[in-house]
Structure 1
Amino acid sequence: MEENNIIEDNFFIIDSNNLNSIESKFYGYTIYNNEIITSKEFNKDIKLEGDGAYIDISKDNNQIIISQDFFGSYGLYLYEYNNIFVISNSFLKLVEYLKDKYPISLNEDCAKSFIAADLCAISYKSTMINEIQIIPRNYILKININSKKLDFEKIDYKEDTIEVNSKEGIETLDNWVDKWVKIIRKLFEKKHYLNIDLSGGFDSRLTLLLVLRSNIDLNQIEFLQ
């Protein structure tokens, strides 16, 4: 029962034939004012700027707007067949929902690619089901409830390449370090339990650097190797 609640709290299905039943809900977490805001603390006064790992469903009058974090951490999956569409942030949950309701067919080329690529997909859009596609991370979905029309708004993140050894590159790195140092300090001040996994790789070294830079008491952190 508890496991089912966790799944329901973190994953959703939006069917174009049942749009009126959809409610506004925030999934995951975002970073706001150097604090980590989860679904329990989230409210509409918090401005989402792509930081964190989240999907936000906002229902207002005749429209449903679905946005995701900068990296598309959850993933948004769209099923389309004739005039029907179904959206979910879980490919498995979506397939389970569709199999007894709507037609689906195997995308053999995509499925076979997993044999050679382990668990890493080589496609940014296709999936193992022909009728399901991945929504790019920089797309906002807008649904008109009355007309059941789905539109997309593309976000321009202006992801230009910056030379690391340039003035702008150094400033960008400084701002990134400063931002995460403040977040770590906030977590520590609020007595959150901090557990840091270190593998010895590049990401771990950066994580340890941020923790050391924050000047918090390392004796109160559990480091796992």
Structure 2
Amino acid sequence: MMKGGIIMDVVNADQARIAEEAGACAVMALERVPADIRRDGGVARMADPEKVKKIKDAVTIPVMAKCRIGHFVEAQILETLNVDFIDESEVLTPADEENHIDKTVFKIPFVCGARNLGEALRRIAEGAAMIRTKGEAGTGNVVEAVRHARAIRREIAVARSLGSAELCGYAKDLGVPLDLLRKTAELGRLPVVNFAAGGLATPADVGLLMQLG
């Protein structure tokens, strides 16, 4: 259902309904646009649970919500709210600068951002069900998302070119499990759905990232 679709950021139920009518495959429930919160010097946190509930009640498509990196209690709250997906997101103010959430203990699927293959596979090893480029959220500039998409594709190509001994060394260099890197090399892509995010502002930007894979 999500593959090939658009996920729209929304801050209220009215925006969620508009997004659904426009063909969005899901909506991301936000308190405010995180880039605006950071610009104003504030701390960007999980959206208010009441707002998430209102958005869920307003639409029939999946509702996603963000939690701060490492903030497993925010994730527990979102799971209790029965959102469809949780985004452990770098665009919110991090709660833990060293550790991400252990996503394997949750029943709800997680999506996480990645700038390169190492980050992507580490998040998958932690239990992420989807990966997205990090990009540069709130700028309307697609260049960082393109950089991250190309980096992941380039590093997968490197993995595919290596023998088993070299692949073991590459896994150590990336800091990822060897079996996960081997599976990625065999598939020629990430073993989960890969979305693009961060600075996509036009349909052409979306098409560019879709064609980059």
* Interval of TM-score (by shorter of Structure 1 and Structure 2): under 0.3
Which has a greater percent of strand? 1
When normalised by structure 2's length, the TM-score is: 0.25
When normalised by structure 1's length, the TM-score is: 0.24
